[in-house]
Structure 1
Amino acid sequence: MTDLDVTTAHRSAREVLSWSRAGLDPALRAAVDRLPDSMRVIAGYHLGWWDEHGHPAGADPGKALRPALALLTAQAVGGSATEALPGAVAVELVHNFSLLHDDVMDGDATRRHRPTAWTVFGVNGAILAGDSLLTLALDVLAGSGHPAATQAIRVLSAATQRLNDGQAADLAFEERGDVQVAECVRMAQNKTAGLIGASCALGALFGGGTADQVEHLRQFGEHVGLAFQFADDLLGIWGDPEVTGKPVYSDLHNRKKSLPVVAALNSDTTAARELDELYHTEGQLTGAELEHVARLIEASGARDWSVGRAETLLAQAREHLRAADPAEQAERELDALAALATQRDH
């Protein structure tokens, strides 16, 4: 048993994330160090390890929720978190591949309180670095030597295809004025929930779980992931920039068809009609107009609807967690992580 598998009882969700980060980082750095120098510099900058010149930076690397889920679900089925490290590294690499590409496609200039990689290294560099991280993720799984490696590659590949499909839908929504709520939910399931579900499935696979345990834990992750997206979309409108690392009303500024926005537009209310007119005007919205848009979304009932959907999904996730018959401490900590991920003030 390694230090990663020696855990103390009654850890908070944030303590679990710190434990996961401490175990993940050496393995993640070792993997990234295998990249060609041209890609390694960009990847390390994006991950917060150094500045654009390669000097240590110590910037915010993100919560690493997905790796934490992979490590905990391995323990939940009676396995070792250390054995699941390749799965944890792989999901973090795929997540960051998607962020590098998303920032380019969305034109976002800031992530985690820093200029995004494409603004520093150019669009082409950021795209290529994302491609390198995706390729590296599959190589990490293939090189793990674990009996479940082949199945894990297929699980992660399927989640990545869903992620790409979800991102394509998200981009297409920007050009459409008739996006339906069900379409938007399906987009979020593919873009966000699929990879979080895969994180849990990979952990259970590397931990030696049964087929039923793997499936229930995957469903736990899928439901947490969709609840997380509801919460994240609320932060994209009403979140504190000091917390989110993005400007206030960032999603509204970008005219994103996020879950609360689409719900508001489809609410058949006076607020919806005014929102539709404002959201589809030419030119940038002023600060006052962005604030008014946020008030219209709330007046339509979409904010309360999003909160309610997140709470329902979290309850359904907990049902799948219990059905997996997990180890007691891992169950408690997975439950705490799910609650933290779906808070609207983190």
Structure 2
Amino acid sequence: MTVTLPAEVSASQALVRPALRAAVDELPGAMRRVVSYHLGWTDEHGEPADGGGGKALRPALALLAAQAVRARPEVAVPGAVAVELVHNFSLLHDDVMDGDVERRHRPTVWRLFGTPAAILAGDSLLTLAIDVLDRSADPVATRCLTAAVQDLIAGQAADVDFETRLDVDPQECLAMAEGKTAALMRCSAEVGALLGRASPVAARLLAEFGRCLGMAFQLVDDLLGIWGSPEVTGKPVLADLRVRKKSVPVVAALTSGTEDGAALRRLYQQPDPPSEEDLTTMAQLIERSGALDWTRDQARQYVVRATTCLDRLHPPEPIHAALADLTRFVVERDR
């Protein structure tokens, strides 16, 4: 059964979407066309389309964080737009580096427009994100964003480095996930708090809430990369195993000290691409090694920490409920 986005996440798009479109309209024509396609607003010919623009969790988190410190959501719109622009910058570049040919059930930008266009579109979004937030006249929020971008790049660099290594340990893998995914989720919550003029304590609690939410999100993403349904995720079956990605459950299995982990290592070391039978065997080995359960348990632990931060913050009850719903969605989702 598909788990739906919390209503507050969908509602936040009414505030963010017009501001996001206005920001993208500032891009030069060629970049605007590529970005509009990537965001699902147009088809490859530039005609209006409804391709879906992703979950928009990060902008929603920014708005909810501002409301958690009793500010109006509107004050966090520049931060919400900025983190969504950064997120899509990272997706454009990730698709190039990972060689992914499909995203959200459509051809990826590099596949359709070419690698140079995808890289340049990502660069444009990153520059635009910093410019949008800088206009909010809050240099602390802008520094928060740029620091998150550096963490994101470091996380992606580690992910690339892992491709040629079989000696990655789970803590390294979790640290990579913290940079690649959790850093921007942390920033989303912290920027919303900063733009809402939160106290230092409240800003730290929301930042930690976002970090833990981001870690849980990435761990679930890693599970979906192996066991997710292609019809729902928009990715090929056993997608991460096809490219022998060193995701958290894979690394947990490789370092499990079990016979199943050793068998997985042999399959990961073979020079030829894995066959369909190999892929099924890999997934079974990961599960039998205990790595599936271990990864799920890690995700649950991060959810507990996120919930603790939320309880310590004491936001208004409707916002507390919305953030709690968002936390549940992250761990129960199937896409």
What interval of TM-score do these two structures reach, taking the shorter chain for normalisation? over 0.9
Q: Does 1:264 align with 2:256?
A: no
Instruction: Judge conservation of contact 1:49–1:56 (CA < 8 Å) in 2.
Output: yes
Residue 13 (structure 1) shift: 4.7
Q: Does 1:196 align with 2:188?
A: no
Match of 1:8?
A: none
Instruction: Judge conservation of contact 1:234–1:344 (CA < 8 Å) in 2.
Output: no
Residue 235 (structure 1) shift: 0.2
Whole-Å Cα distance in 2 between the matches of residues 42 and 268 of structure 1?
47
Match of 1:337?
A: 326
SS in 1 for 2:194: helix
Whole-Å Cα distance in 2 between the matches of residues 241 and 14 of structure 1?
23
Match of 1:214?
A: 203
Aligned with residue 131 of structure 1, among 97, 102, 123: 123
Match of 2:139?
A: 150
Residue 344 (structure 1) shift: 4.5
Unaligned runs of 5+ in 1: 1-11
Whole-Å Cα distance in 1 between the matches of residues 120 and 193 of structure 2?
31
For the aligned residue pairs, the C-alpha RMSD in angstroms reads 1.0
Residue 345 (structure 1) shift: 2.3
Aligned length: 332
Aligned with residue 81 of structure 2, among 66, 85, 89: 89
Match of 2:283?
A: 294
- Write the letter of the residue equivalent to 2:328: A
Whole-Å Cα distance in 2 between the matches of residues 85 and 116 of structure 1?
27
Match of 1:6?
A: none
Instruction: Judge conservation of contact 1:67–1:92 (CA < 8 Å) in 2.
Output: yes
Whole-Å Cα distance in 2 between the matches of residues 203 and 293 of structure 1?
41
Match of 1:7?
A: none
Aligned with residue 14 of structure 2, among 16, 19, 22: 22
SS in 2 for 1:247: coil
Question: Measured at CA, do residues 344 and 15 of structure 1 come closer, stay the same or move farther in structure 2, by a change above 3 Å?
Answer: closer
Residue 303 (structure 1) shift: 0.2
Aligned with residue 50 of structure 2, among 55, 58, 62: 58
Whole-Å Cα distance in 1 between the matches of residues 171 and 134 of structure 2?
36
Whole-Å Cα distance in 2 between the matches of residues 305 and 150 of structure 1?
40
Match of 2:239?
A: 250
Instruction: Judge conservation of contact 1:118–1:126 (CA < 8 Å) in 2.
Output: yes
Aligned with residue 103 of structure 1, among 95, 110, 114: 95
- Write the letter of the residue equivalent to 2:39: L
Instruction: Judge conservation of contact 1:70–1:88 (CA < 8 Å) in 2.
Output: yes
SS in 2 for 1:83: helix
Q: Does 1:79 align with 2:63?
A: no
Runs ≥4 residues deviating over 3 A: none
Aligned with residue 272 of structure 2, among 265, 283, 288: 283
Unaligned runs of 5+ in 2: none
Instruction: Judge conservation of contact 2:228–2:334 (CA < 8 Å) in 1.
Output: yes
Residue 338 (structure 1) shift: 1.2
TM-score in terms of structure 1 length: 0.94
SS in 2 for 1:82: helix
Match of 2:299?
A: 310
Aligned with residue 229 of structure 1, among 214, 218, 221: 218
Whole-Å Cα distance in 1 between the matches of residues 218 and 184 of structure 2?
12
- Write the letter of the residue equivalent to 1:62: G
Q: Does 1:161 align with 2:156?
A: no
Whole-Å Cα distance in 1 between the matches of residues 333 and 281 of structure 2?
21
Query: Percent of counterpart pairs with the same letter?
Result: 54
Residue 22 (structure 1) shift: 2.0
